[in-house]
Amino acid sequence: MGEFNGDIWFVGAEMAPLVKAGGLGDVMGSLPKVLLKAGINVRVVIPYYKNIIPKNLITIKEAYPAGKVNFGEIPFEFGIKTGFAEGEIPIVLIEQNHFFNREDVYGPHSGACGYKDNLWRYAMLAHGAAYAMKILGIPLVVHTHDWSGGLVPAVIRQTFGNKKVQIETEGVLKAKLSRHINAKGLRPAVVFTVHNLGYQGVYGIDDFYDIGIDFKYNSSSAYEHFGTLNSLKGGIKLSDAVTTVSPAYANEITTPGFGFGLDGELKNLRNEGRLKGILNGIDLDYWNPKADKFISRNLNLKEERYRLKDYEDWKDFKLANKKALFSEISLPPKKDKNGRPFPLVGIVSRLTEEKGIDEFLDSLFKWNDFPFQVVILGSGKDYIEKKAAYLAELYRDRIYAQTGRYDEALSHKIYAAADIFAMPSKFEPCGLSQMIAMRYGCVILAGDTGGLHDTVSDITDRHAKEPSGVLIKHIDANAVSWGLNELYNIYINEGEKWRNIVINSANKHFGWDDSAKVYENLYYDVLKKN
């Protein structure tokens, strides 16, 4: 445990394409890649979900002696393996078969039925990560994520001490000076990113005694929250900087309506300048309509910035991918009385209350006979899955639903085929699906909240620049049907306007370049400050 080694370690529960339940996986997979390209020495630590991670995506180089942790009276051993994801991103896998060798990441149905022992599983991740640091050398900054990474800052403090490493030199990360800084008595700086405040990892306070964490952190200045153990709260309290995934969401979570009981804490943090909203990006190479391997026809255009004259190619792209999707899912293409094809609405989503899919389904029945075809891919709450499946059965000519499953290939096909992408979220920390959908030329129907507000430019706002969809203020079935109606009228009656919106949408490229720089600066900042 002599020296610092490595600049930034990401610690989290998912990492695409190895393992993904939602957008956290995308971010853990794509941001490190960009930082690595910028010359920063990054590693990603995730649990070794042996059942889930495809063997061909990882190379394991070395295994290290087992570590041990006591959960209450019970000792658990775990292993550390290092290697690469997709041959390029350095990874550390925490191997503990009892906790991590399961069918799902958090539990069945995208975690809607979470495993009962998730607290222990992610305590294991935190202990495993700290042990790996002891063996491999301590990073200068640990960047941890969401409630599942919430115990990391406590384990770091109890392992390496409270005193944070401090560095003056600008550019130290890239210079790899870290190798020569003596780590004795110093801990890495910790950055914590909240991807979704709706999931806080709340458990009984007694559970505190079974997760190998020093009891002193059972306090309201750490994990205790109104008599419960709150992993997310402790993660926020014990980190040196806190970020969330869009500027609008950073404001929203300081208010009672969006703060899920932590708005007071977050407001204080914001006033102290320790809470930042940094917009996520997507991996523009992976989500690329020109080279996507999952879809039947790629976009032929070469340029990055499209013009109205490019619409014809976009139209052919949509038509070909729609045809292929319809034939794969056996949905007959439908036309109205005048021979115009019904617009295709795509949904790729976790099916939880916050995503507004229930309201979307109800909104269809505000029409006498709804003139849309709808393809839904989603997994989550039982009642929403059942409702989607039931309606798909009832309206076989118009709705197709693939529920209870995660299907990467089908998700690409939906983005490529849909005319409208629906994401009527009641809150949305950032949202990556709308970014992907815009890149694939979909017009967006979305809730006016969080990252959706920051990325979708609203047709119904007269001052909006290059509108790419409709934003709905308060999601309910009536409001969603109003939004659908707005889009339908443009699609049917205002061809030129529709074409412009498609091109605007396709021109929104939300990559990582800008935000990765903001993170890089934040890493310097936390190393400079005491």
Near ligand GLC by CB under 6 A: residue from 16, 18, 24, 155: 24
- Chain residue at closest Cβ approach to ligand ADP: 23
Count of residues in contact with ligand GLC, rule CB under 6 A:
14
- Cα gap 359→310, rounded to integer Å: 35
Binding mask 410-429 for ligand ADP (x = CB under 6 A): -x------------------
The DSSP code for 179 is: G
432 binds ligand GLC (CB under 6 A): yes
At residue 381, what is the residue type?
Answer: K
- Scanning residues 25 to 44, which ones bind ligand GLC (CB under 6 A)? 27
At residue 250, what is the residue type?
Answer: A
Near ligand GLC by CB under 6 A: residue from 30, 110, 118, 196: 196
CA-nearest of 105, 52, 98 to 78 is 98
Judged on CB neighbours under 10 Å (0-12, 13-18, 19+), 87 is: exposed
CB of 121 to ligand GLC, least distance (A): 18
Near ligand ADP by CB under 6 A: residue from 270, 350, 398, 426: 350
Count of residues in contact with ligand ADP, rule CB under 6 A:
18
246 binds ligand ADP (CB under 6 A): no
Q: Which does 252 bind (CB under 5 to 8 A by kind): ligand GLC, ligand ADP, none?
A: none
Near ligand ADP by CB under 6 A: residue from 153, 235, 346, 431: 431
348 binds ligand ADP (CB under 6 A): yes
CA-nearest of 238, 318, 245, 233 to 502 is 318
> What residues are paired with 84 via a beta bridge?
59, 90
Q: Which does 377 bind (CB under 5 to 8 A by kind): ligand ADP, ligand GLC, none?
A: ligand ADP
- Chain residue at closest Cβ approach to ligand GLC: 23
> What residues are paired with 225 via a beta bridge?
228
- Cα gap 451→428, rounded to integer Å: 6
- Cα gap 343→334, rounded to integer Å: 9
Name the token pair of 122.
Answer: 């992610």
Nearer to ligand ADP, 183 or 432 (CB): 432
CB of 284 to ligand GLC, least distance (A): 16
Q: Which does 245 bind (CB under 5 to 8 A by kind): ligand GLC, ligand ADP, none?
A: ligand GLC
379 binds ligand ADP (CB under 6 A): yes
**Residue 480 DSSP SS3:** helix
Residue 419 near residue 318 (C-beta atoms within 8 A): yes
> What residues are paired with 70 via a beta bridge?
75
- Scanning residues 41 to 60, which ones bind ligand GLC (CB under 6 A)? none
Near ligand ADP by CB under 6 A: residue from 96, 349, 455, 515: 349
Binding mask 440-459 for ligand GLC (x = CB under 6 A): -----------x--------
Which residues fall within 8 angstroms of residue 158, CB to CB, at 6 or more apart? 213, 214
Sheet of 469-472, strands arranged across = 399-403, 373-380, 344-351, 420-423, 443-447, 469-472
363 binds ligand ADP (CB under 6 A): no
Binding region for ligand GLC (CB under 6 A) out of 99-107, 256-264, 325-333, 430-438: 430-438
Binding region for ligand ADP (CB under 6 A) out of 130-138, 205-213, 316-324, 403-411: 403-411
- Scanning residues 11 to 40, which ones bind ligand ADP (CB under 6 A)? 22-24, 26
Q: Which does 378 bind (CB under 5 to 8 A by kind): ligand ADP, ligand GLC, none?
A: ligand ADP
Nearer to ligand GLC, 237 or 355 (CB): 355
CA-nearest of 37, 146, 16 to 430 is 146
Q: Which does 438 bind (CB under 5 to 8 A by kind): ligand ADP, ligand GLC, none?
A: none
Nearer to ligand GLC, 213 or 253 (CB): 253
Sheet of 58-71, strands arranged across = 58-71, 74-85, 89-95, 42-47, 8-11, 141-145, 189-194, 241-244, 275-277
- Cα gap 284→172, rounded to integer Å: 28
281 binds ligand ADP (CB under 6 A): no
CB of 27 to ligand GLC, least distance (A): 5
Reduced 3-state DSSP string for 411-444: HHHHHHHCCEEEECCCCCCCCCHHHHHHHCCCEE
Q: Which does 211 bind (CB under 5 to 8 A by kind): ligand ADP, ligand GLC, none?
A: none
- Cα gap 467→260, rounded to integer Å: 32
At residue 293, what is the residue type?
Answer: K
- Cα gap 69→262, rounded to integer Å: 30
Binding mask 141-180 for ligand GLC (x = CB under 6 A): ----------------------------------------
**Contacts to ligand GLC by CB under 6 A:** 22-24, 27, 195-196, 245, 280, 428-432, 451
**Contacts to ligand ADP by CB under 6 A:** 22-24, 26, 348-350, 377-379, 406-408, 411, 430-433
